[in-house]
Amino acid sequence: MKVAMTVSGKVQGVGFRYMTKMVADDLGVYGIVKNQDNGDVYIEAIGEENQVNAFIKAVKKSPAPFGKVQCVTFHDSESIKDYTNFSVTY
């Protein structure tokens, strides 16, 4: 399963990307997480359906204790490449 999403809310400057990576690593999900210029965070995630669904659930709750997710928007996932790990990108 491949999914791309944009997360908005209080998701920059609170350790959101690094906590998201920790969750992805724990679940065996591969992909990327990066800040957007508008204050959102963009995520691409691939893995087994149950892994990705658990990852999405964790992201919606905000893996960062001081983060607050207001909205998660899903995008077309056709262009997501096959990642071999999960990384924080810039």
Q: Which of 34, 44, 29 is nearest to 11 (CA)?
A: 34
CA distance 59 to 61: 5
- In angstroms and rounded to an integer, the radius of gyration of the C-alpha atoms of the chain is 12
Active site residue 38: no
Please tell me which residue in 17, 38, 53, 85 is annotated as part of the active site: 17
Q: Which residues form the catalytic set?
A: 17, 35
